[in-house]
Amino acid sequence: MRPSRAALLRQGAVAPNRTNEMSKNTPKAIRGTQDIFGADAEDFAFVVETFERVRRLFRFRRIEMPVFEKTEVFARSLGETTDVVSKEMYSFEDRGGDSLTLRPEFTAGIARAFLTNGWQQHAPLKVATHGPLFRYERPQKGRYRQFHQIDAEIIGAAEPQADVELLCMADQLLKELGIKGVTLHLNTLGDGSSREAWRAALVDYFSAVKGDLSEDSQERLEKNPLRILDSKDRRDKPFLADAPKIDDFLSDEARAFFKAVTDGLDAAGVKWKRAEALVRGLDYYRHTAFEFIPDEGSAAADALGSQSTILGGGRYDGLMESLGGPATPAVGWAAGIERLAMLVGEREEAGPAIAIVPEVDDDFGLATLLSAALRRQALNTEVFATGSARKRFGKAMKALPAVFIIINRQKVVNSEYFEILTKPNDRRGALHEVLRDEILDGIRTVFTERLKVSSMNMPYGSIIQLKPEEVLVLTK
């Protein structure tokens, strides 16, 4: 009978499998979190970079807030009875006995910062941020317990033009990300009096059929009746079509506000559709509520599955009062970076503009000096200096740079010089010829302005010969 591996290990006949031992002892990632690398990281970065570019176009100021706040910031702003507060928040008591919570969303923290830092002096204030958020919910496609969002808010502006500007910003962001087949779904919740009248009518209507509603909707009837309208439960659907509509309760002012928003969107060329069932359950929400949703059958809809909303928000004119501040109008939106990254398509990790390959280790110093000079010209550069000359060049080829710089030390009687070959990478194709020419111009600048190399046209395959004392110029 063949001895087991365990027996052989005890006898010292075989070496222990260190890989398996390490895998058993290495801590695993927490469920609902993610490590982002490679193409996924490039997609993620593309979303953030595009958001940063667009928010600057619209003149939104960048802000940063703590990732944790006092629990009351979220409990008071989101409502004690919401699922986020009652079931999903990561709350803990610190060593000082204070109840703190990892932020589940941005708006409450921004509102707190607005009130405590005296940002009222800057109103109307246009701000934007992005970063991680935390909710203890069931992980699924595009949804994590630590997730990331981009966020934009206008605080202190009561005019419908603020809503239009935010929606135009969101629309432009999605277009610049290359996300197609998406439509803005838009509704109004009216002003305070309109909303209260509508809420009362909904309570009367659904109370008459309470026994036929789902358990969730029966609970919402007592706490948050507007949320019944967006129920997906089949038991509720027969009663939704005939439920009271907000349009029957709008004041003249609320009706005019919504018209100004839709007229502004039409003027800006933003495609939208009315979504009467789109609601926000918390009382401080007013007027505009919106979501950007993939069109049925679109590639975006297929990619996201059941998580259909790409970007959503609304006007929350009553939030500041819930945090103890004065009445302050505000409107904002947020979008999940992970969901947006799922829709932008895989983006290849870009190769370096320039790959420097010193053929021997003794030339690594020159490669380092040359790479530093090129980076000062804003040319991203990578040095390949491990392994044999053949392996170095092979690694550089796989990185797909636009231009190679190959360093070869030449020795002659009583002297030596460095031979530097500048060779464009034809594997990058015709699409990269313009970029390649720009890179060559940058290289030319390094050699002509810093090293005083004269009459240098630098055609493809240029060879430059430098004496050691000339190389020292690169350090200056």
DSSP string, 11-68: HTSS---HHHHHHHHSPPPPTT-----HHHHHHHHHHHHHHHHHHHHTTPEE----SE
User: Two tokens at 84?
Assistant: 């986020």
Helices then strands, each counted (H, E), the chain = 18, 16
Q: What angle do CA 421, 426, 432 make, to 5 degrees?
A: 110
Confidence class for position 437, pLDDT limits 50, 70, 90: low
Q: What angle do CA 299, 302, 306 make, to 5 degrees?
A: 140
User: Two tokens at 266?
Assistant: 């039409």
Strand partners, 188: 288
Ramachandran angles phi, psi of 318, nearest 5°: -105, 5
pLDDT of residue 424: 64
Q: What is the pLDDT of residues 79-101, one digit of tens each?
A: 655 566 667 889 999 999 999 99
pLDDT of residue 161: 97
> What are the structural domains of the chain?
38-191+251-343 (3.30.930.10), 354-475 (3.40.50)
Confidence class for position 302, pLDDT limits 50, 70, 90: confident
Confidence class for position 456, pLDDT limits 50, 70, 90: very low
CB atoms within 10 A of CB 463: 12
Q: What's the rounded Cα separation, in Å, for the pair 216 and 235?
A: 11
Q: What is the pLDDT of residues 179-221, one digit of tens each?
A: 999 999 999 999 989 989 999 999 999 999 999 999 989 988 8
Identify which has the larger pLDDT, 342 or 407. 342
User: Two tokens at 61?
Assistant: 């100021």
pLDDT of residue 447: 65
